[in-house]
Amino acid sequence: MSSAYVAASFAVTAVILAWDYLAPRLKFQRVRRAIRLRARRNEAKRKS
């Protein structure tokens, strides 16, 4: 019984740590993409 609890808690901890690692990187990629797209739109407006 105790080993199942420990294994489950390790699994939950691993999932949370993985999410804490990945979430900011995914958001950073989305923000960089939005900045690039905005810059392209602004450049296209300036050229028109």
DSSP assignment of 24-39: HHHHHHHHHHHHHHHH
Scored b (16 or more CB within 10 A) or e, 4-20 reads eeeeeeeeeeeeeeeee
This prediction's pTM: 0.67
Confidence of residue 19 (pLDDT cuts 50, 70, 90): very high
* Mean per-residue pLDDT, 26-35: 98
Instruction: Extract the tokens encoding 43.
Output: 């450049």
Q: Taking the domains of the chain in order of start, what are their residue ranges?
A: 23-48
Structure tokens at 14: 């691993």
